[in-house]
Amino acid sequence: MCDTHRKPPVDTGQPDWLAEVAFDEQGLIPAIAQDANTGQVLMVAWMNRQSLYETAATGRAVYWSRSRKRLWRKGEESGHVQQVHELRLDCDGDVILLKVEQIGGIACHTGRASCFYRRLDGTAEQAAWITVDPVLKDPELIYK
């Protein structure tokens, strides 16, 4: 439907922009962090309403940790904060893209710039995942 023919927003107690986000049954949405300068995909995480709102309000990436069952402010332990330059919503409203500046250059808990450091090499029948990106900092030194 064309934006000019939308129904007026219903007052849900949340900002109109947040009401347009299609969270799943668990109240989550996948969030892709992409380097704002290079376009490199750094990581994929999950957000809930609170983390998405806090991210928009503060300009710092905040995710929902499914394992810890709590908000996870990127860099809270490692210091590798993501400053958000832009938030985008996909056409179906069910994926968030964060264009970020990765402070310290490390997004992955393995000490690499990106969580996508393995590449599939070979034919489908005999392929293997090959590590192609170096560890920039030993995780033992990051997470004490």
- List domains and CATH numbers for the chain: 14-135 (3.10.20.810)
The proportion of the chain whose per-residue pLDDT surpasses 90, expressed as a percent, equals 88
Over residues 115-129, mean pLDDT = 96
Query: Could you give the CA distance from residue 56 to residue 88 in angstroms, rounded to a whole number?
Result: 11
CA angle in degrees (0–180, nearest 5) for 95-107-63: 45
Higher confidence at residue 107 or residue 12?
A: 107
Q: What does pLDDT average to over the chain?
A: 92
Is residue 2 over pLDDT 90? Answer: no
The span from the CA of 92 to the CA of 44, in Å, is: 18
Residue 10: pLDDT band by 50, 70, 90 thresholds? Answer: low
First to last CA, the chain: 52
Around 115, how many Cα atoms within 13 Å sit in the side-chain half-sphere?
A: 11
